Amino acid sequence: MTEHNWEKRTLGRTGFEVTVLGIGSAWLGHQEGRYTPDVGVQTVLAGLEAGINLVDTSDNYIAGRSEGIVGQALKHWFAQDHRREDLILSTKLSVYDGNPDAFSYDGAIYGLEQSLNRLQTDYLDIFLVHDPTSLDPVLADNGALAALRKAKEEGTIRAIGLGCRSHAFHRTCIETGEFDVSLTYHDFSLVDTTAEAGVLETAAKHDVGIFNASINAALTRPDTAGRSRELADWCAKRDLELSTLNLHFCLREKRFASILIGFSRPARVVQNIQALAAPIDEAVWKELARDFGIGRGDQYARCLGRQVTRFS
């Protein structure tokens, strides 16, 4: 695949320079029995060959299979004399059947070791606490944060982060001063911009890097389906794809360092890079603001005809 001319942004105080699209790995190996690991490996390689330098996965995506597929892809990649230091590798610490006490000190250390083994790497650039239902075990004196702090001091991880929906959790972790990265999802797109007040403003004050994930999944939520149909019809009249406009809308928010796209196969990599390269006339944004109020702050909520949900 031809390498794209990528824009890179700085991920907050980490100083990491990441491409504006990242390889999300939630769908790698998702269809057990119908999805071969080779397809997943080729998907990751397609993204890397195109010049994407950020890969994000998790220990509980398909019971660890996603991390294993990414690890196999990286083995191929580094065998071609590519350098580990040119890649930003992110994964997540989750509570799941394989690690039910993940947010305890010992559980976090165990989870980190398992992720390193599956990814076949000596260190992680970013390790994210993933979808906690409470921050109490994470922030306890002998909790996950203490373990990750030690791992960071030892160089096993380079940055600590949080990946979840709760904006209150993001703000709490950011304000500890120990979380370098926040990954938020389903909450900044053409149909929902609640991450702006919920996460982005606090992160900017503390120089915490932000990832935006699942930007198209937000378009298919039951509470946004009607607005998505209106936007799709509006786009069709302008010979635009809604997903393409949504991607460009998200990229216009410069406080996001990268948009994480969940690729399932190489064709999806090509599709999204083509969407990224598609020109969007400036007049489109003015018309979007005129017709939907999108991009006008409080007018956005009013244009939906309802109170936009703000996660607390």
Phi, psi of 122 (to 5 degrees): -90, -20
Query: What's residue 33's pLDDT?
Result: 60
> Poorest-confidence range of 105-109, 116-120, 308-312?
308-312
Where in the chain are the domains?
8-280
Q: What is the mean pLDDT of the chain?
A: 92
210 with 203: CB under 8 angstroms? yes
Reported as a single tens digit per residue, the pLDDT across 242-297 is: 999 999 999 999 999 999 999 999 999 999 999 999 999 999 999 999 999 987 54
Query: What's residue 302's pLDDT?
Result: 32
Cα–Cα distance, 245 to 284 (Å, whole number): 9
* Other beta carbons less than 10 A from residue 97's beta carbon: 7
Reported as a single tens digit per residue, the pLDDT across 59-74 is: 988 778 899 999 999 9
Residue 304 has pLDDT above 70, yes or no: no
Residue 54 has pLDDT above 50, yes or no: yes
- Give Cα 197 distance to the centre of its chain: 18
Query: 11: alpha, beta or left, given left = phi > 0 and alpha = psi -120 to 50?
Result: beta
Q: Report long-range pairs for 236-239 (Cβ below 8 Å, ≥24 apart).
A: 238/284, 238/287
CA angle 43, 15, 90 (to 5 degrees): 35
Considering the segment(s) 8-280 as one domain, its CATH architecture is: Alpha-Beta Barrel (3.20)
Cα–Cα distance, 1 to 225 (Å, whole number): 35
Cα–Cα distance, 55 to 217 (Å, whole number): 19
Cα–Cα distance, 40 to 103 (Å, whole number): 29
Residue 223 has pLDDT above 80, yes or no: yes
Reported as a single tens digit per residue, the pLDDT across 171-200 is: 999 999 999 999 999 999 999 999 999 999
